[in-house]
Structure 1
Amino acid sequence: MASNSSPKEIIKEFPFFRVYNDGRLEFFRPPCVKVPPFDDPISGVRSKDVVISSQPTVSARIFIPKVTNPDKQKFPLVLYMHGGGFCTFSAFAKPYHDFCNTVSSQANAIVVSVEYGLFPDRPIPACYEDSWAALKWVASHVSGNGPDPWLNHHADLGRVFIGGDSAGGNIAHTLALRVGSIGLPGVNLVGVTMIHPFFGGTEDDEMWLYMCASNGGPQDPRIKPPAEDLARLGCERVLIFVAERDYLCPAGKNYYEELKKSGWKGRVELVEHLDEKHVFYLRNPTCTNALELTNKFISFIKQNNGSPRNSIESKY
């Protein structure tokens, strides 16, 4: 007897997943392996997981460097958003844990690595809203009476940085725009670092539009920031990393050029690594260019006066 059910057909295929005619999604990568927080006996960095919001669920992993003066020691704070195409990966994955642990140790900074909602369980714009909730949660410690003792006692909210790679770089932009547009009392956003950020003009555009049901098309300001948005970034400095063999490289370079022309009053620097692919620093963290990228990221946090007012482009 012939079956009345239609055969399963692929109706859309994106870089991270395909969609079947019955609505099923097939992801090309297995779920990432997560590691628990732990106290690093070598660097002295401690880490723990915290719940920022229960409805919806938003959590983060916090890293704090070795405290030598419990009563007076204050550290700059870095809010970091992981990559993964808005649909995969985790702040709790080993590559991100290791990177944030290194940044905390060598920059002598508190790092808050955000576990934001992912498609399909929580479609875009959940990633943006969850990350904003995390930044506001950080700001709730400005008077020293927030929910987390590490931040109450040791976070210097006059020295806050935002960072992210790939999708997380895009999210970092939206946070800086919100700070510049509506403010965040008590918080001084010094700088933003974007590593191989996603913006419009690539094959990923259609995937982003599919994951975000309420969108403005290819010109949506979250993926194609207009000059008026760029001019409102609420930070003093921006550092952008691109990789020559990364398909997102042109998007990162275009963001850099548009930011310079926008009228924004801060300092922006572009660093390009030649003959490297997307997020190479996570795949091969001990290679020369990965170490250089990490050191540059750390120096960006530690520097006092920033780079010269004129934009700089570096290549390695």
Structure 2
Amino acid sequence: MDSGRSSEVALEFLPHFRAYKDGRVERFFGTDVVPPSINSQNVFSTKDVHIVQETGLKARVFIPSTISPAGQKLPVLVYYHGGGFYMGSPFCSTYHNHVASLVAEANIVAVSVDYRLAPEHPVPIAYEDSWAALQWVTSHCTGEGPDAWLREHGDFHRVFLAGDSMGGNIVHNMAARAGVEGLAGVKLVGACLVHPYFGRKESPGTSVADRSWLFTCPTTSGFDDPRINPAEDSRLSSLGCSKVLILIAEKDNSKERGLFYYETLKKSGWHGEVEIMESEGEEHVFHLFHPNCEKALALLKRMASFINQGRASN
């Protein structure tokens, strides 16, 4: 009987993930590790940092290898990976390569956050880790803080957030919290949500993404939870950045979620600028798995342009 119970599946998203009702988890994506490297032959350098020793919260920091050692300041991007809260890592090849490409294309400093994953660490732990990482980044704005790259090269008047899929949802929640609580003198300029996941009251809850939310956040009230439903989020009108870019894909099952966020934000009373761009003929997070295709390169350039708009005037 115990053996039968152990094989009962709680959630699966094949070929990437399976969780069993006895607590066992099998991850088939995001488990490989690309080691950090400081290599002048590459167009970027990376290192891994511990943010909170007690919880194991870590991040990977990226800088362009061409950066001037004489204190050249660059925009700072904080990146939150996708994976439904239960898979993915900034250290795996998929996300390492994506953020590295962004750093090279946009000429920025980036911090890719390794928040803890459900179901071992159920939501809201991912949100709390993501906020702790953002606060750690902003702690460098006065020239102090533990990381030399951020101290010497981060321009904290040009800080951006970005993330894909559920990472896009995290981006919204971080920008919303920043709008309420502030970021201690740091200017959060923009937020980029790539193929973001959001829920709606009328959602049937039968899609993998909807079932993932219920699975990873067992204490949620459902799809009226303001963390997952922007229409229920009282913080939306005071979003803590001045511009938002939403990227959607034509054949993405979550496309309507991105459109929903776009329309809801426009109606919220928020005074910033919101833009939306659609990749025709493409599916969910296609750019991560086909990074060299024409549409993926266009997406990368659009994200870089979003970060660099107005750079000359700063």
TM-score scaled by length of structure 2? 0.90
In structure 2, the gaps of 5 or more residues are none
Residues 260-283 of structure 1: CA deviation (Å, up to 9, x unaligned): 111110011111111111110011
SS in 1 for 2:77: strand
- Residue of structure 2 in register with 1:7 after alignment: 4
1:296–1:121: structure 2 CA closer, same or farther, 3 Å change rule?
same
Q: State the alpha-carbon separation in 2 of the partners of residues 90 and 111 from structure 1.
A: 15
CA contact (8 A) 1:227 1:262 kept: no
- Residue of structure 1 in register with 2:175 after alignment: 176
Choose the corresponding residue for 2:283, options 261, 269, 277. 277
Deviation at 1:227, TM superposition (A): 5.6
Moved over 4 A (4+): 16-21, 40-43
- Residue of structure 1 in register with 2:211 after alignment: 206
SS in 2 for 1:207: helix
CA contact (8 A) 1:32 1:89 kept: yes
CA contact (8 A) 1:32 1:90 kept: yes
1:31–1:144: structure 2 CA closer, same or farther, 3 Å change rule?
closer
Q: State the alpha-carbon separation in 1 of the partners of residues 93 and 3 from structure 2.
A: 42
Q: State the alpha-carbon separation in 1 of the partners of residues 69 and 40 from structure 2.
A: 18
1:95–1:40: structure 2 CA closer, same or farther, 3 Å change rule?
farther
Residues 211-231 of structure 1: CA deviation (Å, up to 9, x unaligned): 112212221011102263221
Based on CA coordinates, which of the two structures has the bigger radius of gyration? Answer: 1
1:244 aligns with 2:250: yes
- Residue of structure 2 in register with 1:292 after alignment: 298
CA contact (8 A) 2:177 2:235 kept: no
- Residue of structure 1 in register with 2:274 after alignment: 268
Deviation at 1:288, TM superposition (A): 0.5
Letter of the aligned partner of 2:77 in structure 1? V
Residues 89-108 of structure 1: CA deviation (Å, up to 9, x unaligned): 10011121112112112211
- Residue of structure 2 in register with 1:259 after alignment: 265
SS in 2 for 1:85: coil
Count of aligned pairs: 302
Q: State the alpha-carbon separation in 2 of the partners of residues 131 and 64 from structure 1.
A: 20
Q: State the alpha-carbon separation in 2 of the partners of residues 227 and 217 from structure 1.
A: 14
Q: State the alpha-carbon separation in 2 of the partners of residues 154 and 181 from structure 1.
A: 27
Q: State the alpha-carbon separation in 2 of the partners of residues 142 and 26 from structure 1.
A: 39
CA contact (8 A) 1:82 1:96 kept: yes
Q: State the alpha-carbon separation in 2 of the partners of residues 18 and 53 from structure 1.
A: 28
CA contact (8 A) 2:39 2:65 kept: no
Deviation at 1:70, TM superposition (A): 2.3
- Residue of structure 2 in register with 1:302 after alignment: 308
In structure 1, the gaps of 5 or more residues are 306-316
Q: State the alpha-carbon separation in 2 of the partners of residues 109 and 177 from structure 1.
A: 23
Q: State the alpha-carbon separation in 2 of the partners of residues 102 and 12 from structure 1.
A: 36
Q: State the alpha-carbon separation in 1 of the partners of residues 23 and 234 from structure 2.
A: 39
1:28–1:98: structure 2 CA closer, same or farther, 3 Å change rule?
closer
